[in-house]
A and B are shown apart, each in its own frame.
Chain A
Amino acid sequence: MVKVVESPEGLEGQGFFATSLDKVIGLARANSIWPLPFATSCCGIEFMATMGANYDLARFGSERLSFTPRQTDLLMVMGTISKKMAPVLKQVYDQMAEPKWVLSVGACACSGGIFDTYSVLQGIDKVIPVDVYVPGCPPRPEQIIEGLMKIQELAKNESLRRRDTDEYAKMLESYNIEQAK
């Protein structure tokens, strides 16, 4: 039994359907998120289990994982990010095209986790802006899926102009990220 996504409110008639543009685009974006699994450690193995047949992330539209940032919408950072890795993470984030979302999976990515040491970055939000945090060590696949569902809600309800606003630009500046014009 296949559940189809609900259509947004609009004016329906024979051969046409009128609704606002951002609802349609939000619907399309939310249900076809292509993630970039930036899996570094143990949470990466739980992600592999999430992609497997038991928990199946693909039914949320994330069938096609891409390891190249140029073709993805969602950066899923799973696992510990050390200070040596942080510039690489920032570079991957920079290479993604707007609109992009970041999902921080696992305690290490959210805040450094149990590794309060000299070599571990205490949370990826020190270098890139994060949209949804999924706590856990490692989080169960159901939690990762819930994180993805929250990203879907964000993608669905986002205004089309959000990435062009001053507020967004100011936020990116606070991370020292150059916004591509």
Chain B
Amino acid sequence: MAFINENTNNSAVCSVDQYDMLNVNITADQLIDLVDVLKNKQGFIYLTDICAAHYPEKVGAEFEVIYHLHNLIENQRVRLKVALAESDINIPTLTVHFVGANWMERETFDFYGVNFVGHPDLRRILNMDDMDYHPLRKQYALEDETRTDKNDTFFGR
């Protein structure tokens, strides 16, 4: 599978194979071109999932958006990973290529605050609309700090 990446991109693209899945680390500007080629020429017509992860210790690349694509005919899967800095957390949207990316990107925005440029309706989907922070970032606690009926000393927190 490595030859696909040599052919699809002129700029440096790292690909690491782990647990039998091809991982491709790219930057945000390479995303659309690569997805174009993968979808239209290599047969990766199925977008399995979009999610994100927060690595606060990697300064300058705190957020990582992960795309899983699937070629149903040849049964190949690929994982694209885009690293974003907290100060510039913008990435182009995939809703033009895959209609199913709409809600997946909204969920990623809701949880991490990743801004998908060009998304038709980027707003919160699972949390309440008036929530002012992005809860899955590592600095925020799991529990609601204002609750009064649980005694944290009993739960080891």
Contacts and interface: CB of A to CB of B under 8 A. Distances in A.
Interface of A: 83-84, 111, 116-119, 122-123
A83 B143 CA distance: 13
Interface string B124-139: 0011100000010000
B143 A117 contact: yes
A102 B143 CA distance: 27
Nearest to A116: B143
A119 B135 CA distance: 10
Interface of B: 126-128, 135, 140-144, 147, 149-150, 155
A92 to B, nearest CB: 18
Contacts of A119: 126-128, 135, 144
B149 A118 contact: no
A122 B150 contact: yes
A117 B128 contact: no
Contacts of A83: 128
Given A83-B128, A116-B155, A123-B149, 18 more contacts: A84-B127, A84-B128, A116-B142, A116-B143, A117-B142, A117-B143, A117-B144, A118-B135, A118-B140, A118-B142, A118-B144, A119-B126, A119-B127, A119-B128, A119-B144, A122-B144, A122-B149, A122-B150
Contacts of B144: 117-119, 122
Nearest to B145: A118
Please provide the 3 A-B residue pairs with the shortest distance between their CB atoms, ordered closest to farther: A118-B144, A84-B128, A122-B147
A119 B146 CA distance: 12
Nearest to A84: B128
B70 to A, nearest CB: 30
Contacts of B140: 118
Contacts of B149: 111, 122-123
A83 B135 CA distance: 14
Contacts of B135: 118-119
A123 B144 CA distance: 13
Contacts of B155: 116
Contacts of B147: 116, 122
A36 B11 CA distance: 62
Contacts of A116: 142-143, 147, 150, 155
Contacts of B142: 116-118
Contacts of A117: 142-144
A118 B143 contact: yes
Contacts of A84: 127-128
The residue in A84, A117, A118, A119 that gathers the most chain B C-beta atoms within 10 A of its C-beta is: A118
A128 to B, nearest CB: 16
Nearest to B129: A84
A117 B144 CA distance: 6
Nearest to A122: B147
Of B135, B140, B142, B144, most buried by chain A (CB within 10 Å of CB) is B144
A168 to B, nearest CB: 24
B115 to A, nearest CB: 22
28 contacts: A83-B128, A84-B127, A84-B128, A111-B149, A116-B142, A116-B143, A116-B147, A116-B150, A116-B155, A117-B142, A117-B143, A117-B144, A118-B135, A118-B140, A118-B141, A118-B142, A118-B143, A118-B144, A119-B126, A119-B127, A119-B128, A119-B135, A119-B144, A122-B144, A122-B147, A122-B149, A122-B150, A123-B149
